[in-house]
Amino acid sequence: MAIIALVSAKGSPGVTTTALAAALSWHRRLVLAECDPAGGSILAGYLGGALDGPRGIGELAVGELRDGSLESTFWSQLVDLDAPRRERLLLPGVVDPAQAGSLVPLWQRFADYFTGLERGVPPYDVLVDCGRLAVGGPPWPLLRAAAVVLLVTRAHLPDLSATRATVRAVERDLTEHRVPPGNLRLLVVGDGHGTSEISKVLRLPVIARLPHDPRTAEVLAHGGTVRANRPLMRAAGALEVPVRALLDRRRARLAWPGATPARPASAPIVPTAPGVSGAV
């Protein structure tokens, strides 16, 4: 399914929690990449810091800037969230937001590599947590490369007001970079205004609504046992259906005569030798 990016506006919560819930419920092989310039939180939160050494996108950036080693080191920087099955993998984000500056010149490089994972052996979807656009150095190349971009928002007026500006900013950037339309959707979290009202006000379709489930959100943020029958996990698991349907419709539209498909990136091969270790 290529890249699915999640992003939110200033003040809008829940991107990482939503992304992690979806990753733990996904039915295809998946890499969850923490690409929030403000820093990753899954290692210290959900995984409780249980790693045997530094790992993640920060380490990849250092290696890539030093000697162009992204292809050779990528899989060793992942954490198996469902060890040893290698079906739900995490690329941890930077620990110190001060490291984010080193990522800015590499966002396009990561976008190109992530796109190729769909055609890898075996193939992987990539769910990208882009955090909030209000931070410095947002990963715009990842949003432009994404097959689906989900703007995460709560349904109360202050959140919707901030999200309105974010919607327009993303739409403007994608248009300026000639990204074909149709990949942008709202993902609403929690109670508040109705989805039809939100869609009308923000002039963007709502792809799904996730329920207010503080018990599960607490586990995803700070660790513990994730229960698949909880409301948030059931809804996150169901999210894959409309996302896949949107992607299929968009690809069908781009396949019409006259559409110019993007040039495919090379397909990486997932190493079969050990290189991804579980942290839980």
- Output Rg (C-alpha) for the chain, integer angstroms: 18
Distance CA 39, CA 53 (A): 17
Distance CA 169, CA 184 (A): 12
The 3-state DSSP composition of the chain as helix, strand, coil percent (nearest 5) reads: 40, 20, 40
Q: Supply the DSSP string of 21-54, one letter for each residue.
A: HHHHH-SS-EEEEE--TT---TTTTTTTT--SS-
Q: Which CATH superfamily is domain 3-254 in?
A: P-loop containing nucleotide triphosphate hydrolases (3.40.50.300)
pLDDT digits (tens, 9 = 90+) for 198-226: 999 999 999 999 999 999 999 999 999 99
**Mean pLDDT, the chain, as a whole number?**
88
| Contact status, residue 211 vs residue 236, Cβ threshold 8 Å | no
Per the document, the length of the chain is: 280
pLDDT band of 280, cuts 50, 70, 90: very low
Ramachandran assignment for 83, one of left (phi > 0), alpha (psi -120 to 50 degrees), beta (any other): beta
- Residue extents of the structural domains in the chain: 3-254
| Contact status, residue 50 vs residue 279, Cβ threshold 8 Å | yes
pLDDT of 137 > 90? The answer is no
Mean pLDDT value of segment 88-109:
90
| Contact status, residue 128 vs residue 4, Cβ threshold 8 Å | yes
∠ Cα 146 82 47 (to 5°): 85
Distance CA 185, CA 167 (A): 9
DSSP reduced 3-state for 186: strand
DSSP reduced 3-state for 190: strand
pLDDT band of 115, cuts 50, 70, 90: very high
Helix axes 57-67, 107-116, angle to 10 degrees: 110
DSSP reduced 3-state for 181: coil
- How far CA 199 is from CA of 12, 27, 276, in Å, comes to 17, 28, 41
pLDDT band of 52, cuts 50, 70, 90: low
pLDDT digits (tens, 9 = 90+) for 237-256: 999 999 999 988 888 887 76
Q: Identify the CA nearest to 188 among candidates 179, 180, 178, 198.
A: 198
Mean pLDDT value of segment 170-194:
95
Across-strand partners of 129?
6, 34
pLDDT of 14 > 80? The answer is yes
